[in-house]
Amino acid sequence: MCCYFCIRIEKSKSQTEEDKSPVALEETVISPVKGKTIPLSEVKDDVFASGDMGSGFSVAPEDNNIYAPVSGTVEVFMDESKHAIGIRTKNENEILVHVGIDTVELHGKYFTSFVKQGDIVKQGDKILQVDFDKVVENGYDPTVIVVCTNAKKDVEVNIAKSPHMVVS
């Protein structure tokens, strides 16, 4: 697996009801696919581009293999279409990997899944294989989108330039 960058998600959470001091729930999220980073605001899907689905990033894929960007439990798996996988981390972050724009219309064609709902995955585990050449030949945008869906306003996303460096 090859990733070119990672991000750190930071959000605050109170330690106890009495102690309202924030605790950082940090998460390092790697790119699920080799490719060029695209700002989320430039994704050709208004729901993701607007940030309504959460903070994150997207990648123009250069490889057909999709890897788990975080460790956790597969909470959401679009079984028929295989185009979206949601992983809940130990810090309760919900990370969505959404493969392609409108690829739900392919009904899983050109997608091979290596996980199912309820599976435990480790960061870097292969979760999907996609024939992106066929996806593009059929008129679909192959952009891979990664967002933290349960923290739309209080998440800071920092993209690091190396898979080994996390920028705060």
Q: Active-site residue numbers?
A: 98
Per the listing, tokens 């585990």 go with 125
**C-beta neighbour count of 77 within 10 angstroms:** 19
